């Protein structure tokens, strides 16, 4: 059994357990009733303390973000064990939504690191949760290479060191799943996390 550090949440790819369906209106288009993003996770639903979280990727105006936040606040959860909800919007909108960010840097100091976001900056704005290892960052986009398992794990370690909650993503591509190598692929991602976390990061495994 795996034990998870305090503030460390494991995020499985939608292809494995859930469906993430953000409803987005075009900027400037007539605003219709928007439904909050749904993240359906059978394993999380069975847990004593469930969490629903997802990045809002590179979408949405500040007006749309505020409208959806108001709808989420008004929504009543029927379950006796209410999950907590984390929304991670594009960084510019982070001040208007409660409250996580989609990524952080490997650097944990201040200096000449243009465009980077270190854990201290995240905490300064009252943000407590960060996503690492999202499938899009692992795969890469544009002409940029994807992040390796080792880079993702180092980011998780950096966040935990500064007292941030970590949503640590794992997941396989369609090609990997069709080749029958899903468990081996996910095991390598999990092992990368485990290899950088010190004993003080991990509670006693059950």
CB-facing half-sphere around the CA of 8: CA atoms within 13 A: 24
Q: Which domains occur in the chain, in start order? A: 8-17+51-73+82-198 (3.20.20.70)
Residue 192 has pLDDT above 70, yes or no: yes
Question: Is the Cβ–Cβ distance between 108 and 120 less than 8 Å?
Answer: yes
Q: Which residue has the higher pLDDT, 206 or 11?
A: 11
- Read off the DSSP letter of residue 77: P
The enclosing H or E element of 101 equals strand 100-101
Give which of 92, 108, 24, 113 is closest to 64, Cα–Cα. 24
Q: Which residue has the higher pLDDT, 100 or 170?
A: 170
Q: Which residues pair with 166 in a beta bridge?
A: 8, 130
| Residue 34 buriedness (CB in 10 A; 0-12 / 13-18 / 19+) | middle
Taking the C-alpha atoms of residue 166 and residue 149, their distance in angstroms, rounded to an integer, is: 15
Residue 59 has pLDDT above 70, yes or no: no
Please list the helix, strand and coil fractions of the chain in percent, rounded to the nearest 5, in that order: 35, 15, 50
pLDDT digits (tens, 9 = 90+) for 99-142: 788 888 888 888 888 888 888 888 888 888 899 998 888 888 88
Taking the C-alpha atoms of residue 64 and residue 25, their distance in angstroms, rounded to an integer, is: 8
Q: Is the entire prediction scored with pTM above 0.85? A: no
pLDDT class of 23 with cuts at 50, 70, 90: very low
With tokens 């966040």, the residue in question is 159
pLDDT value, residue 112: 84
Compute the mean pLDDT over every residue in the chain, rounded to the nearest whole number: 71
Tokens of 104: 């952080």
Residue 182 has pLDDT above 60, yes or no: yes
Taking the C-alpha atoms of residue 47 and residue 194, their distance in angstroms, rounded to an integer, is: 22
Q: Please, which residues have CB within 8 angstroms of residue 164's CB and are 6 or more apart in sequence?
A: 7, 104, 119, 122, 123, 127, 128, 129, 130
């Amino acid at each position: 059994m795996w034990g998870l550090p305090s503030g460390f949440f494991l995020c499985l790819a939608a292809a494995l357990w859930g469906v993430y369906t953000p409803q987005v209106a075009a900027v400037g288009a007539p605003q219709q009733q928007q439904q909050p993003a749904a993240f359906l996770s059978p394993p999380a639903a069975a847990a004593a303390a469930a969490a629903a979280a997802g990045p809002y990727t590179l979408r949405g105006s500040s007006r749309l973000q505020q409208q959806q936040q108001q709808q989420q606040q008004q929504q009543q959860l029927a379950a006796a064990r209410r999950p907590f909800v984390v929304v991670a919007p594009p960084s510019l909108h982070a001040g208007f939504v409660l409250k996580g960010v989609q990524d952080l840097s490997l650097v944990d100091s201040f200096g000449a690191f243009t465009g980077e976001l270190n854990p201290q900056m995240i905490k300064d704005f009252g943000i407590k949760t960060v996503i690492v290892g999202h499938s899009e960052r692992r795969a890469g986009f544009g002409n940029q290479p994807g992040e390796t398992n080792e880079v993702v794990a180092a980011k998780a370690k950096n966040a935990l060191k500064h007292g941030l909650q970590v949503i640590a993503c794992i997941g396989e591509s369609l090609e990997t799943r069709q080749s029958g190598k899903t468990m081996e692929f996910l095991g390598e991602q999990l092992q990368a996390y485990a290899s950088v976390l010190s004993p003080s990061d991990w509670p006693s495994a059950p």
